[in-house]
């Protein structure tokens, strides 16, 4: 059952109660270990109505999946759930870790699993936020099948590898590339030439806003009706805890881990989007299971 009062000391604290975090906690619970999950109920895919690409649950509501998983997890007597924000952490594998919550609560544990996910920073374009996860998308593997064969848009930033992104997206439809007016004429000319060589096109007029389901409103007054508009948002870790503990991060910003999902700090593990930036439920569940098993082996002194 849900319990917002944590025991004074537990085997592991999992920060983040979405797919990766609950998967990690499940492995520890089944090893008869005590686990506290700290979660603030802000899953990354909360705006999406359906989730795809996860075997056995293809086309289900992400919220329903999470609710079902939580009910199953809380049936284990040594699992406790805290609805709160984990705002800080300190400690080591030898001394134990202390996680400080925004409410002032402090939870102590021998091992720590970071599954708090990431935050997507969307471009400041009217209409994007309201359609995020619906007509404005980032992952064709998650949503592409339903819009396959239609006219697709790709909004690129100046430092994006536009041609590589287009080559991937072309599997699902004809791609038109949009920009925000942040590329020089020379850069646009080079991009247009590259796109024509792979059967895609460039919209020269900057994108001003998005309306209807996924209609690109352009600076010259024209409108381009799309099945979906894709973009690659700037993604950052949703918590500073990895940096507080001294965990190394990759150039992309995600937390560095080894094959056992242990970070560069002994006793601290990371999984899900925070450790991969993949945005895929199946991968998050798998990585969470790896992290949970590894954390248990670490408690036994068996992790190499």
40 neighbors 85 (Cβ within 8 angstroms)? yes
pLDDT in tens, 61-116: 889 999 999 999 999 999 999 999 999 999 999 999 999 999 999 999 999 999 99
- The span from the CA of 156 to the CA of 185, in Å, is 15
Q: DSSP label at 171?
A: G
In eight-state DSSP terms, residue 58 is T
As a whole number, mean pLDDT of residues 130-146 equals 91
Residue 3 clears pLDDT 50, i.e. is over it: no
CA nearest 283: which of 73, 117, 41, 161?
117
DSSP 8-state assignment for residue 256: P
State the pLDDT at residue 8.
Answer: 61
Percentage above 70 pLDDT, the chain: 97
Which of 33, 238, 13, 20 is closest to 106 using CA atoms? 13
Residue 206 DSSP class: P
Write the burial class of residue 185 (CB in 10 Å: 0-12 exposed, 13-18 middle, 19+ buried): exposed
Assess whether pLDDT exceeds 80 at residue 129.
yes
pLDDT band at 53 (very low <50, low <70, confident <90, very high): confident
What percentage of residues in the chain have a pLDDT greater than 90?
78
Segment among 11-20, 45-54, 86-95, 124-133 with least mean pLDDT: 45-54
Q: Please give the Cα distance from 174 to 118 (Å, whole number).
A: 30
Cβ neighbors of 125 (< 8 A, separation 6 or more) are: 155, 180, 207, 208, 209, 210
- Sign, Cα dihedral of 95, 242, 254, 21: positive
Separation of alpha carbons 98 and 210, rounded Å: 45
User: Counting beta carbons within 10 angstroms of the beta carbon of residue 171, is it exposed (0 to 12), middle (13 to 18) or buried (19 or more)?
Assistant: exposed
What pLDDT does 280 receive?
86
Q: Which domains does the chain have, with CATH numbers?
A: 9-120+234-299 (3.50.50.60), 123-231 (3.50.50.60)
Q: How many residues does the chain have?
A: 304
What the block records as the tokens of 137 is 């998308």
User: What is the per-residue pLDDT across 258-293, written as a single tens digit (0 to 9) for each?
Assistant: 999 999 999 999 999 999 877 788 999 999 999 999
- Mean of the pLDDT values across residues 39-58? 83
pLDDT at 278: 73
Number of separate helices (H) and strands (E) present in the chain:
9, 17
pLDDT digits (tens, 9 = 90+) for 185-228: 999 999 999 999 999 999 999 999 999 999 999 999 999 999 99
Average pLDDT, the chain: 92
Q: What is the pLDDT of residue 257?
A: 97
């Amino acid at each position: 059952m849900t319990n917002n009062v944590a025991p004074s000391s537990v085997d592991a604290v999992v920060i983040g109660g979405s797919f990766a975090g609950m998967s990690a906690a499940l492995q520890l619970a089944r090893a008869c270990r005590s686990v506290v999950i700290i979660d603030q109920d802000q899953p990354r895919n909360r705006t999406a109505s359906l989730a795809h690409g996860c075997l056995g649950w293809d086309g289900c509501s992400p919220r329903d999946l999470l609710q079902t998983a939580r009910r199953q997890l809380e049936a284990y007597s040594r699992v406790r759930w805290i609805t709160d924000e984990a705002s800080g952490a300190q400690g080591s594998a030898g001394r134990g870790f202390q996680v400080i919550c925004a409410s002032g609560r402090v939870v102590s544990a021998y091992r720590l699993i970071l599954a708090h996910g990431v935050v997507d920073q969307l471009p400041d374009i009217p209409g994007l936020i309201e359609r995020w996860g619906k007509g404005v998308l980032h992952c064709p593997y998650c949503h592409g099948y339903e819009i396959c064969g239609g006219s697709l848009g790709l909004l690129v930033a100046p430092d994006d590898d536009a041609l590589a992104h287009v080559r991937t997206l072309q599997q699902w439809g004809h791609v038109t590339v949009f920009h925000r007016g942040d590329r020089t004429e020379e850069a646009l000319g080079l991009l247009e030439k590259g796109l024509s060589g792979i059967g895609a096109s460039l919209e020269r007029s900057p994108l001003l806003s998005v309306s209807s389901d996924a209609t690109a409103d352009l600076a010259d007054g024209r409108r381009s009706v799309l099945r979906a508009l894709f973009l690659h948002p700037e993604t950052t870790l949703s918590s500073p805890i990895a940096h507080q503990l001294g965990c190394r991060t990759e150039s992309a910003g995600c937390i560095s881990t080894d094959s056992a999902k242990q970070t560069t700090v002994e006793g601290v593990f990371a999984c899900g989007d925070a450790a991969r930036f993949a945005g895929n439920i199946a991968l998050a569940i798998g990585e969470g299971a790896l992290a949970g098993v590894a954390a248990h082996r670490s408690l036994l002194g068996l992790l190499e």
